[in-house]
Amino acid sequence: MLEQDIPVIFASVKEVTIMKTAVIYARVSSSNDRQNTQRQIEDLTQFASRNEYQLMGTYEEHISGATKNENRMVLMECINYCIEHQVNYLLLSELSRLGRSTLEALKVIEVLNENKVCLYLANYGLETLDKDGKVNPTCHLLCTILLEVAQMERGMIRTRMAMGYQEYLNKRKEDKENHPLGRPTKYKKSDTAYREQYAKELTLLRKGVSLRNVSKITGTSIGTLRKIKIYV
C-alpha cells in the first residue's frame, strides 16, 4: 500500500475554558425606601454577565459602614463563602460598600488577597489582584488613599456639626428669650384670647343657635366652632 493511501486521522482537541466565578456584595446604611441595594445588584449582575463570570451568590446588607467587621454578619458570611468555594471575584459597586473605616476595610482586603479572591470595584474599574493572582500595588495604594480621604471628610463634617451646635448653645446663653433647642413648639392661644377672638360666635352658641347656622352667620368653620364650644 502506498503512503498516500494510508488514511490520516486528525484528533480534534477542544479547548476547555474554565469559567471564572464571582459573588456580589451590596450594602446600604438603612432599610428605608430611599436607600436600597437593587441598583448595585443590577449593575454588578450585568457586569458579571458581560465578562462571562459564573455568579455564585448575592449578599445584601442593611447596616452602617462604620460598624466593625465582626458585627457585620452578612459581610462575614460572604467572605467565608468566597474563601471556602475559592471564588475568583468579589464584586462591589464602590469601595465604601466594604466599609467606612479605613482599618476595617483594609483588613477585609488583606484577607481576600491572602486567599486569592480578587476584589472588583465597579466605579473605578479596579481589581486588587492581577492576572497572576498577585496583589496589585497601584490598586492597593488607591484603596488606602480613598478610604483615608473619605474618613477625613466624615471627621470634618462631625467637627463642623459639633462647632455649630456649640455656637448655638453659646448664643442661647446670651439670648434673653433663651429659645429651646430643636423645632419650635407650636403656639397655643390662651383661653382669654379665644373668648375675645370668637366673642360673637360664643354669644350665638349660648343662645342655642346650631353650629351650622352660626357658621353661616359668622363664616367660622364648624370645626373651629366645635373647638370653642367648651367656652360656652
For residue range 179-229, list pLDDT tens digits in order. 566 655 665 677 788 788 888 888 888 888 888 888 877 888 888 888 888
Total Cβ atoms within 10 A of residue 149: 11
Q: Find out whether 109 and 128 touch, Cβ atoms under 8 Å.
A: yes
Mark whether 143 and 29 lie in a shared domain: yes
- Domain count within the chain: 2
Comparing CA positions, the residue from 149, 97, 152, 150 lying closest to residue 123 is: 97
**Does residue 167 lie in a domain region?**
no
Instruction: State the chain's mean pLDDT as an integer.
Output: 83
**Does residue 1 lie in a domain region?**
no
Cell of 159: 467637627
Mark whether 57 and 108 lie in a shared domain: yes
pLDDT tens per residue, range 117-163: 999 999 999 999 998 999 999 998 999 898 888 777 767 777 888 77
**Does residue 97 lie in a domain region?**
yes
**Does residue 172 lie in a domain region?**
no
What's this model's pTM, rounded to 2 decimal places?
Answer: 0.62
Side by side, the strands of the sheet bearing 126-127 are: 54-62, 21-28, 89-92, 118-121, 126-127
Domain that holds residue 87: 21-151
Mark whether 39 and 90 lie in a shared domain: yes
Query: Which among 96, 127, 151 is the end of a domain?
Result: 151
Query: Which among 151, 181, 212 is the end of a domain?
Result: 151
pLDDT tens per residue, range 54-92: 999 999 999 988 888 989 999 999 999 999 999 999 999
**Does residue 181 lie in a domain region?**
no
Binning pLDDT at 50, 70 and 90, where does residue 31 land? low
